Chains A and B, each alone.
Chain A
Amino acid sequence: MNPWRDERLRPVLAACVTLGLAVGVFAISFGVTSVSAGASVGQTCAMSLLVFTGASQFAAVSVFGAGGSAASAFGGAALLAARNSVYGLAMAPHLRGSLGRRLIAAQLTLDESTAMAAAQEDESHRAAAFWITGLSVYLFWNLGTLIGALLGTAIDPTVYGLDAAFPAAFVAILWPMLRERRAALAAAIGATVCLVLIPFTPVGVPILCAALGILVGVPPPPLSASAASGEVVAT
């Protein structure tokens, strides 16, 4: 069956639209922040179209806005963008295909698209969830940026609690994955490492170090676990 027409992907579509709205409001505030930090409307839109990594973009323009140097703006933004390379490693097995397709997929490799793809229980839905989420975030992020850059006034996302929308969505996306013992352990290690490192390392580093959690995948799965999962499939 064509995964795009599968009704089990409807929750993904619904979530994308909801998340898209939150992304859009943040994008408007990015557009405003960027222009007021001295970037032109063209540069602001080019950042969202080409850099397309929200946290990095915000980090860069806030350094410029505070009168910081280009070097420190660049360093902070690059550190925040680095985690996308780790997501690429996770997504590669699900995004097989022509080089051209993967080069486009690369631009859409983000927290949101990776999480939504990983959350699909059916392997055949992963690629579709990745593309739907990535394209929807791309659309809303760029639309919002343009509006903010032109308008110059933004809605404060925090007034509507939208800053909690992303971690909340990630909790909901993560939840079903945690039924698997190793994933739960990897998540616990990732969260702990991140929390411990936040006060001591530059922004962006704690998330990268959270990748330590994947080491729980090194030992082969115990036989009892695979037998148990076999039972689940059988019933």
Chain B
Amino acid sequence: MTWGFVLALAATAYGFKVLGLVLIGNRQLPPMLDRCLGLIPAALIAAIVVKDTFSIGQHLQIDARAAGVGAAVIAAWRRVPLIAVIVISAVVTAGVRAAT
């Protein structure tokens, strides 16, 4: 790996991060756009959850993570505090992994 690579990747990553913030800036958005942008976290975070739970690279697979995240769903539904949800899911995942 070269320093050129590190700096080029840093510039690219920062470019992506700054793009949306600068593009919109302090502008007031039309209501439709505002509604759509407000839904970004729900759409993307849900996608991250299924990706992190059911995939390794381009392969779909069901393993101990599914049990841990399943426990997190139940815990979230029972309104367990976030910190406890994280701990419960890690313990369940580690337990299932150790047992299988």
* Interface residue A154 (Cβ < 8 Å from any Cβ of B): no
Who on chain A is nearest to B77 by CB?
A175
Contact with B along A62-81 (1 / 0, CB 8 A): 00100000100110011001
B2: shortest Cβ distance to chain A, in Å?
7
A84, B16: Cβ atoms closer than 8 Å? yes
B17, A111: Cβ atoms closer than 8 Å? no
> Do A198 and B58 contact each other (CB < 8 Å), given the known contacts A191-B46, A214-B40?
yes
Bound: A41/B26 CA distance, A: 39
A18, B1: Cβ atoms closer than 8 Å? no
Contact with A along B69-100 (1 / 0, CB 8 A): 10111011100111101111111111101000
Chain B residues with CB under 8 A of A202 = 58
A169, B40: Cβ atoms closer than 8 Å? no
Bound: A191/B51 CA distance, A: 8
Bound: A53/B17 CA distance, A: 10
Q: Which of A1-9, A89-97, A141-149, A227-235 contacts B (4 or more CB under 8 A)?
A: A89-97
Who on chain A is nearest to B55 by CB?
A198
A170, B50: Cβ atoms closer than 8 Å? no
Counting chain B residues whose Cβ lies within 8 A of the other chain, the interface size class is: 35 or more
Main secondary structure of the interface of B (DSSP, over half): helix
A213, B14: Cβ atoms closer than 8 Å? no
Counting chain A residues whose Cβ lies within 8 A of the other chain, the interface size class is: 35 or more
* Interface residue A222 (Cβ < 8 Å from any Cβ of B): no
The answer, among B20, B53, B60, for a CB contact under 8 Å with A164, is B53
Bound: A102/B24 CA distance, A: 11
B36, A218: Cβ atoms closer than 8 Å? yes
> Do A18 and B87 contact each other (CB < 8 Å), given the known contacts A74-B8, A96-B26?
yes
A164, B64: Cβ atoms closer than 8 Å? yes
A190: shortest Cβ distance to chain B, in Å?
3
> Do A109 and B17 contact each other (CB < 8 Å), given the known contacts A73-B5, A166-B52?
yes
Who on chain B is nearest to A157 by CB?
B90
Who on chain A is nearest to B69 by CB?
A167
A15, B41: Cβ atoms closer than 8 Å? no
Bound: A192/B23 CA distance, A: 29
A206, B72: Cβ atoms closer than 8 Å? no
Q: Which residues of B contact A (CB under 8 A)?
A: 1-3, 5-10, 12-14, 16-26, 29, 31-32, 34-55, 57-60, 64-65, 68-69, 71-73, 75-77, 80-83, 85-95, 97
User: 4 tightest A-B contacts by CB?
Assistant: A88-B20, A161-B93, A213-B43, A168-B89
Show 10 A/B contacts (Cβ-Cβ < 8 Å), sorted by A.
A50-B7, A50-B13, A51-B9, A92-B24, A106-B17, A161-B92, A183-B42, A186-B43, A194-B50, A212-B43
